[in-house]
Structure 1
Amino acid sequence: MSYDRDQAAEEFTRWSESYDRCILQWLLFGPSHRALIRRIRAVAADRPFRVLDVGCGTGLFASRIRAAMPEAEVVGIDLVPEMLAKGRRRWEFLADNVIPVRGDSERLPFASGTFDFVTCANSFHHYPNQERAVQEMQRVLRPGGRLLIIDGYRDGPWGWFIYDVCVTFREGNVHHASSRRFRELMGAAGFQAVAQKVHRGFAPFLLSEGVVPESIPSIPAPHFRVRQAVDA
C-alpha cells in the first residue's frame, strides 16, 4: 500500500506528544542539525540570510540555527498543527526572527525566489511525492540559493537494516531515497553542483546539497496564502 499525506499527518500527530523527548533527538536529529548549521555557516559566513526549514516540527532546528547564527531569519513550515502547537513557547521566544507556518511541502505557500537556503532534516522519507517536493523547494529559492536535505543513509547494509527494515516496519511504507535517487531528484529539478556527504554512526545520515543556477526562468506565483500563528 502506498504511503500518503494523511498517514504522515496521523503519525506525526501521535508523535508530537513525545517528539522533543524521543531518543532520536540524541541519535539523529541533533547531529543532523549540527551538520546543517556547519554547512550553512561555511556558505553564508556573517551575511544575513533567509532560510526555510521544511518539516520543522516543534522548531528545534529553528532555535538552534538562531542561536548559532543570529543574523538568520527563519521560516519553519510543517503539515501537522499539533507539531507546531507543541513548539508554541519556542516560537513565542523567537518571534522577532522566526515564523512558524502550517503548510504542505508539495505546495509551499511562498513566492518564488524568497529564500537563500531551504533545509529539510529527517522528514523527506515521509513525503509521498518527493519529486514535487524538491521542485517546490527549488522554486522558492533565489538564484544561487541552496537546498540542503538530510535523511537516513540507507545505501550500506547497516543503514538498509535501520531505515528500510526497522523504520519501515515502525512507520509504514515510507521511502528513504538512495544517494543516487537524491542526485536524480535534484538534477531533474534544475539544481547544479549537487554534492553529498555521508555521516557515519549508529544512525547514519546523508546530506545532499544542490545549488540553484544564477539565471533561472520566472515561475508562477505561490498556490495559497501563508498562514502563520499557532494555536495551543
Structure 2
Amino acid sequence: MAYDRDQATHEFTRWSESYDRSILQWLLFGPSHRALIRRIRTVVEDRPARILDVGCGTGVFASRIRESLPNAKVWGIDLVAEMLTKGAERWRQHAGHIQPAQADSERLPFASGTFDIVTCANSFHHYPHQDRAIAEMHRVLRPGGRLMLIDGYRDGLWGWFIYDVCVAGVEGDVHHASSKRFRELFAQAGLRAIAQKVHRGPAPFLLTEAVATDPAPSSIFPSPHFRGVMGLANREASASAIPRED
C-alpha cells in the first residue's frame, strides 16, 4: 500500500509525545535548521521578510527563525493537530510574530505570491503527492522568492542505509527523493535557478533551493481546511493571517 495522509497523521500523532526530545533534534534537525537559517540570512539579510515553514511540527524551527531573524514574520503549517498543540508554549512566546495553523501541504491556505521564503525541513519524505506539495509551495511565493527544502540525502550508500532502510523501517513506506528527483520536481513546478548542496555527517541531508517565477494559478483543489491552534487563531488572529484567494 502506498504511503498516504492517514499514515502520516498516525505517525506524527504518535511521535508528538516525544518529538522535542528525539535524538534527531541533535543528529539531524539542529544541523539542518542552522543550514537553512544561514541561507535565509544570506538572501534576506536584515530586511523584513514573510516566511512560511511547511511541516512546522512543534515550532522548533519557526522559533529559531524568529530568534535569528528578528525582522521576519513567520507562518507555520502542519497537518497534525497534536504536533501543533505540543508547541503551545512556543506559539505563546512568539505571539504576533509566528502564526501557526493546521493545514495540508497540498492545499496551502494562502494567496498566491504571499511569501518571500518558503521552507520545508525534514518532513517532505512523508508527503504522499510530492509534486503537488512543491507546486503549492511555488504558488504562494512571490516572483523572485525562494523555496528552500531540506530532506535526508539518500543517494550514497550510507544515506541509502540510513533513510531507505532504517528510517523507512521505523516510519513505514516514506519516500526520500533522490537529488535528481528533487531537481525534476522543482523544474516541473516552474521553479528556476535550482541549486543543491549536500551536508555530510552521521545523518546527511540535502538542501535544494530555487527561485520562484510568476505566481502559479490557483490549484485545482477547492479551498483548503484552515484551523487555528491553541487560541492563537481566533477570529482576531485568523484575520491577521493571509487568506487564500480562490
Instruction: Tell me which interval the TM-score lies in, with the shorter structure as reference length.
Output: over 0.9
**Partner residue in 2 for 1:124:** 124
**Partner residue in 2 for 1:146:** 146
Counterparts of 1:111 and 1:124, CA distance in 2? 22
Per-residue CA deviation, residues 156-204 of structure 1 (Å, 9 max, x unaligned), is 0000000001111111100000000000000000000000000000000
* CA drift at 1:223: 2.0
Letter in 2 for 1:62: A
**Partner residue in 1 for 2:31:** 31
Q: Please, which runs of 5 or more residues in structure 1 have no aligned partner?
A: none
The alignment of Structure 1 onto Structure 2 pairs a total of residues equal to 230
1:115-194 superposed matches below 5 A: 115-194=115-194
> Please, which of 208, 217, 220 is the counterpart of residue 219 of structure 1?
217
Per-residue CA deviation, residues 30-60 of structure 1 (Å, 9 max, x unaligned), is 0010000000000001110000000000000
Contact 1:110 1:226 in 2 (8 A): no
Per-residue CA deviation, residues 73-123 of structure 1 (Å, 9 max, x unaligned), is 000000000000000010011012000010000011111011000000000
Contact 1:63 1:90 in 2 (8 A): yes
Q: Please, which runs of 5 or more residues in structure 2 have no aligned partner?
A: 233-246
Q: Do the aligned partners of residues 191 and 150 (structure 1) sit closer, same or farther apart at CA in structure 2, a change above 3 Å counting?
A: same
Letter in 2 for 1:134: I
Alignment partner of 1:12 is 2:1: no
After superposing on structure 2, the runs of 4+ consecutive aligned residues of structure 1 that deviate more than 4 Å are none
Report the aligned-residue RMSD.
Answer: 1.4
Contact 2:139 2:216 in 1 (8 A): no
Question: What TM-score comes out, normalization by structure 2 length?
Answer: 0.91
Counterparts of 1:100 and 1:194, CA distance in 2? 28
Counterparts of 2:195 and 2:98, CA distance in 1? 28
**Partner residue in 1 for 2:2:** 2
Letter in 2 for 1:159: G
SS in 2 for 1:175: coil
* CA drift at 1:219: 1.7
